[in-house]
Structure 1
Amino acid sequence: MPSGSADVSSILDRILEAATDNLRIAKILVQMGLDPDSVTYEAIFNRLLEIFVHNITLANLFAVVGAVFFVATLLMRTMVPLRVANMIGCAFFALFGALSANVATFLLYLLMLPINALRLRQMLKLVKKARHAAEGDMSIEWLKPFMTERRYRRGDILFKMRDPANEMFLTVTGKFLVKEINVEIGPGALMGELGFLTPDNRRTGTVECIEDGQVLTITYDRLLEIYFQDPQFGYYFLVLTSQRLLQNIDRLQKQLATERGTTTNRIA
């Protein structure tokens, strides 16, 4: 056997022997301040109580409160209360680090505070603007920070009917035509949102660019991510898309009524 392998083997044996020695029950009891030859439940309880009383300090109390809030975050289903609980926990752990002179702990949790505060602010802003949209304002300016820019030239096809759908569009400039119903779409309109709701995620129409323009896109995976961060947002998004669907139905009904009126006049 090569000498290098022998050296590694001997090192591993020494590590194993040291670990076995350190994990012996007798040695652990000695480290706890107990006599291995006379261990009783009362002795163990008294020793644990002594350790507990000895470690009752303001710093450790802050650490316990911080731990309670961190455990609470595991039980929360929505992001807003989770972020709040996490911020409170970070504050108590930062105080623990300061009082115990643990610089690493203090800096870690101190830096986590503004990060959580920023994410909480973003989420609250998102929910607020989504609610505002559901109450009648059809603007989705609140969604723009989550979207990416894309440009199209005249004649480009954005998507065709029955194509697999994986993203939603918001028009910024230019004009687009829904070919099946011959409806032009200008700036500030949603396109492709219904594909997010269809069971098979298929396009419900064909959209062609008829005037060079710019759009913003967001994938359905990103929309799902935002939804799972706060289900309340998901509710308001469904309300928003439902309103869009009702607008489409109303437009089609008016168009059908106009065509029927034209046909009647021709017959008369």
Structure 2
Amino acid sequence: MNSNADFSTILDRILNTAADNFRIAKILVQMGLDPDNITYDALFNRLFEIVLANITLANMFALVGAIFFVATLLMQRMVPLRVANMVGCTFFAISCALSGSVATFLLYLLLLPVNAVRLRQLLKLVKKARNATRGDWSMEWLKPFMTERRYRRGDILFRKGDSATEMFLIATGKFLVIEIGVELPPGRFMGELGFLTPDNRRTATIECIEDGQVLTITYERLLEIYFQSDQQFGYHILLLTSQRLLENNQRLQGSISRLEAALAQEKAARQMAAARGTA
């Protein structure tokens, strides 16, 4: 009981002290102003004097660094964000060096190579994404972002209607799209349509018909790559899925044409049979 009372007393003292420190009158006194005789002109002049007194080379570099730091919060693309971050870290490091803050100087100095490495990775990613839209349909550049997985004959990768969370690239082996009876050889992507469906559901069932290895990448990682690069990567994904839809449409049209031809032949045979029966 006494411990609770002591804690309550200590908390009250802390709150009272904080409230006292934040009183307008005390703040004005600390600024060198008379709380009983305060005017806008006096307040403005005092603030102006404080600003002038703190204009140093170190503070100017810190101000520029702060501007670039705020700019990073407003940027939507990762590449310019990294560049602005590096510039801001440079100005902050110079400011710390001039003011003699060794620990903070080392912090911003270490952030520079970290941002430089990430920027280099992003630039390589953007370059590969742009090259992909110029006709490179293999998307081999995605492999460093993918993980390996093995399947044996008879394994089902996913079924139609399942929740879709990842895309596959066939490295070895063969896989069958059961609904349309199409075999997928190495180098083909699987599961990319689920990335664009509204409810992220599988549109077909895939079965392994020959032991093989696939590379997988989650849709979350694809979105991360998209937001870190540019719209061209998203455009290429749309081209990839559009190509698959066109191929499926051509197969469907071919199946319909064959079915129509078979029905026409069956109809002709029936007509011939009827004609012979009449004769």
Instruction: Please indicate the TM-score interval, normalised by the length of the shorter structure.
Output: 0.7 to 0.9
Cα distance, 1:240–1:116 mapped onto 2, change above 3 Å: farther
Q: Secondary structure at the match of 1:163?
A: coil
Q: TM-score w.r.t. structure 1 length?
A: 0.87
CA distance in 1, matches of 2:160, 2:135: 29
User: 1:59-98: per-residue Cα shift (whole Å, max 9, x none)?
Assistant: 1111111111112122222222122112211111111111
CA distance in 1, matches of 2:172, 2:259: 30
Partner of residue 180, structure 2: 181
Structure 1 unaligned spans of 5+ = none
Q: Per-residue deviation at 1:250?
A: 4.9
Partner of residue 203, structure 1: 202
Matched, 1:212 2:211: yes
Cα distance, 1:166–1:116 mapped onto 2, change above 3 Å: same
- 252-261 or 157-166, which deviates more: 252-261
Cα distance, 1:95–1:149 mapped onto 2, change above 3 Å: same
Cα distance, 1:61–1:230 mapped onto 2, change above 3 Å: same
Higher Rg: 2
Matched, 1:245 2:255: no
Q: Secondary structure at the match of 1:99?
A: helix
User: 1:188-211: per-residue Cα shift (whole Å, max 9, x none)?
Assistant: 210010111123322222211111
Amino acid at match of 2:199: D
Q: TM-score w.r.t. structure 2 length?
A: 0.84
Cα-Cα RMSD? 2.7
Aligned-pair identity in percent equals: 71
Structure 2 unaligned spans of 5+ = 269-279
Q: Is the 8 A contact 2:90 2:112 kept in 1?
A: yes
* Equivalent runs, 1:66-85 vs 2, <5 Å: 66-85=65-84
Q: Is the 8 A contact 2:165 2:219 kept in 1?
A: yes
| Count, aligned residues | 267
CA distance in 2, matches of 1:255, 1:58: 77
User: 1:128-185: per-residue Cα shift (whole Å, max 9, x none)?
Assistant: 2122122111122221222222111111011122322221101111111122232222
Q: Is the 8 A contact 1:133 1:240 kept in 2?
A: no
Partner of residue 190, structure 1: 189
Q: Is the 8 A contact 1:98 1:106 kept in 2?
A: yes
- 69-78 or 241-250, which deviates more: 241-250
CA distance in 2, matches of 1:247, 1:167: 21
Q: Is the 8 A contact 2:125 2:229 kept in 1?
A: no
CA distance in 1, matches of 2:95, 2:251: 62
Q: Secondary structure at the match of 1:174?
A: strand
Q: Per-residue deviation at 1:111?
A: 2.3
Q: Per-residue deviation at 1:256?
A: 7.2
